[in-house]
Structure 1
Amino acid sequence: MAPVKKGRNRRLRLWLALGAGFLGLLCLGGVGVAVLLYDEETKIERADPDQVTSSFLRAYLVSRSDDEAALYSCKEGARLDEIAALRAEMINREQNFGTTVTAVWEALVVSGTSGASTSVNVDLVITGSKGGQQVSSRTEPWTFGLVDEQGWRVCSAAKNG
């Protein structure tokens, strides 16, 4: 009787090994799908100049993150001194007057597309508030120059007028 029991144990181990291998493959496949979905969801879109400009403004003026803004700006030769001055002014007003200064944008208009470059005109609305009450607001027209470097990137920013 002992030889029959050995044969059953071998078959049982074989089935367990096959089941564990199959389960391992399913897990690896699930991890692969999860990585692909995550990659697709976190992909940086640079296909539309107006969307890139909006993303740059959100990163630079709202989040105030140079690292995040760098994802949407030129790799070399960017002329962003004027927008940097605006952000510095916003930060100084917050520190000096105890206010919260925010920027929103409206009327993003793409114009002047020529090959690998274009411009986007934007109205920036700069608002100061204190204690939940608006204390100041102004609208400034800006032009952002973009270049197609494997996707659009902001290379210049200038206040109009």
Structure 2
Amino acid sequence: MERRSVWRKVLLGLVIVLAVGGIGAAVATLTAYHEATKIDRSVPEVVVAEYLRAALQNKDEVGVDLYTCQDPSALAPMSALIDELAKREHDFGVQVIISWGALNRADQSGQVRIQTDLTVTAIKDGAEESSSQQRWQFGLVEEDGWRVCAAEQGPMPSASPTPSPSIAA
């Protein structure tokens, strides 16, 4: 009888250790997963790149919401661009591909402005139909990390010829 009691205690102790270990492993796994998938809004340039990826490439409204501020009304110009490009895809039977260049940052009294050039390329039957560039500026505000709150299209700089030095004879 005593032998059974000892084995029961050992078995119960083993079950308790395994249960606590399993719970600890589950908590550690969930914590690691949360950290690995956490949205990084600490760098304004990264936030703009992720916003552009969600809005223009993935067409993911949920993804867009992760990187925009609570009042996205100043993002109407970007929404208009998205709608226009979708209409062109439908009307002309093309695929529109959008990429962007360097993200240039300017800090202004609690706000950050990021400027970039978007390249809009229309592809039809595997061939490039047209390509254009647009300069855009994005305003970001610190709201539980950086958030895109404004977008406006700006003028492209005009190409002015560089004067060449005259050669003296």
TM-score (norm 2): 0.88
Give the drift of 1:146. Answer: 0.6
Asked if 1:146 is matched to 2:140, the reply is yes
Q: Which amino acid aligns with 2:19?
A: G
Alpha-carbon distance in structure 1 between the residues aligned to 2:81 and 2:6: 74
Q: Equivalent of 2:55, from 56, 60, 65?
A: 60
- The aligned counterpart of 1:81 is 76
Work out whether residues 144 and 155 of structure 1, in 8 Å CA contact, stay in contact via their aligned partners in 2. yes
Work out whether residues 142 and 159 of structure 1, in 8 Å CA contact, stay in contact via their aligned partners in 2. yes
Q: Which amino acid aligns with 1:58?
A: R
Give the drift of 1:62. Answer: 1.0
1:105-120 to 2 correspondences below 5 Å = 105-111=100-106, 113-120=107-114
Give the drift of 1:114. Answer: 2.8
- The aligned counterpart of 1:91 is 86
Asked if 1:29 is matched to 2:8, the reply is no
Give the drift of 1:131. Answer: 2.1
Structure 1 residue runs of 4+, over 2 Å off?
A: none
Could you give the per-residue CA deviations for residues 60-89 of structure 1, whole angstroms, max 9, x where no partner exists?
111112221111111125401111111111
- The aligned counterpart of 1:3 is none
Q: Equivalent of 1:133, from 122, 127, 131?
A: 127
How many residues in Structure 1 have an aligned counterpart in Structure 2?
155
Alpha-carbon distance in structure 1 between the residues aligned to 2:40 and 2:111: 17
Work out whether residues 102 and 128 of structure 1, in 8 Å CA contact, stay in contact via their aligned partners in 2. yes
Cα distance change of structure 1 residues 160 and 125 upon mapping to structure 2, 3 Å threshold: same
Any unmatched runs of 5+ in structure 1?
A: 1-5
Give the drift of 1:150. Answer: 2.1
Q: Equivalent of 1:124, from 118, 128, 134?
A: 118
Task: Name the Cα RMSD after superposition.
Answer: 1.1
Cα distance change of structure 1 residues 77 and 131 upon mapping to structure 2, 3 Å threshold: closer
Alpha-carbon distance in structure 2 between the residues aligned to 1:138 and 1:38: 41
Alpha-carbon distance in structure 2 between the residues aligned to 1:147 and 1:78: 14
Alpha-carbon distance in structure 2 between the residues aligned to 1:145 and 1:40: 27
Give the drift of 1:127. Answer: 0.9
Q: Equivalent of 1:72, from 52, 67, 73?
A: 67
